[in-house]
Amino acid sequence: MIRNTLGSLLGLIGAAAAVWSPFRAWYGSRQGRDYRVEQLFSRAGITEDGASLFGSILLPFLFAALLALVAVVLRSRLLMGLAGVVVLGFAVLWMVRQGQAADGLSVGGDGPGLGDGLANAFGGGALLLLGAAVMSGRPARRRRRTDAPADRDEAAYGSPYPPAHQDPDPYPPPHQDPRAYPPSHQDPRSYPPSHQDQAGTYPPEPTGPADPDNPSGPTGWGPRPPRDQQS
C-alpha cells in the first residue's frame, strides 16, 4: 500500500512536469508548444513555422499524463512505465530533429541553447519511470484450492460421503419375511401369552368321597384298606 502511494505520487509529479515543459523554453527562446508534432516525423524536420496548442509537442505529453492517471487508478506499473517512455521518447526525438536543423546542439553559451523546458520533460519522464519501479502493483488474487471440496454436498463422485438422499436405516423393509427379523420384531401372537394359566398343564383333581381316616388325603381313590392288611 505504501509503495503504491509513493509510486503514484512520483508518477503524478512527473506527469505534471511533462505537461508543463512545453510552456517553457526548449531551444533558445522558443517554447515547446511552438513545435509541431508532425515535424518530428517528416523529412523536412523542424522549421520556423508555428503550431497550434493541441497540434504541438504538448499533445503526446497530455497523452502520457492521461496514461499516468489511469495507472494510478488501476495501480498499474505497466501503464506508468509506458507514460514515462512516451515522454522520454518524444524528448529524445525532438533533440535529434533539432540537432539536424541547427547542425548541432549547445547548452548555454552566448548563442541559442537547450532550455529548461527540455530539462522538465526529461525530469518528468524519469519520475514516471521511477514511480513505476516503486509501485508494487495490484495484489495477486488468491486462487481457491481445487483439490478439496468446499462443502460436503460438492464432494466429487467416488468420495466416501454417502449421498444426501441415501436411507441410513440398515434394517430391511417391512414387506420381507418376518422370520428374518430379530425376536423383538416378530408377531407376538406366535408366542404363548405371558398371562396364560399354567395350572391347566396339570391333571385334574380326582373327584370322589373324602377318606374319613385321612381327611387331608386325596379323594376319589376309593376306601382305604385296614392296617392289618397293609402290612
Task: Name the H helices within 28-169.
Answer: 58-74, 77-102, 116-134
The three-point CA angle 208-214-219 to 5° equals 20
Residue 186, pLDDT > 70, answer no
How far apart are alpha carbons 101 and 45 in whole angstroms? Answer: 7
CB of 127 closer than 8 Å to CB of 133: no
pLDDT band at 213 (very low <50, low <70, confident <90, very high): low
pLDDT at 131: 94
Residue 63, pLDDT > 50, answer yes
User: CB-based burial of residue 105 (10 Å sphere; 0-12 exposed, 13-18 middle, 19+ buried)?
Assistant: middle
Asked which of 29-38, 70-79, 98-107 is least confident by mean pLDDT, the reply is 98-107
pLDDT at 220: 47
pLDDT at 18: 95
pLDDT at 140: 66
Residue 38 amino acid letter: E
- As a whole-number percent, the residues of the chain with pLDDT over 90 amount to 39
Average pLDDT value for residue range 90-116: 82
C-alpha cell at 95: 533533440
pLDDT at 175: 59
Residue 178, pLDDT > 70, answer no
Residue 55, pLDDT > 60, answer yes
Residue 101, pLDDT > 80, answer yes
pLDDT at 155: 47
Helix (H, G, I), strand (E, B) or coil at 35: coil
> Which of 45-49, 168-172, 218-222 has the largest mean confidence?
45-49
pLDDT at 81: 95
Residue 192, pLDDT > 80, answer no
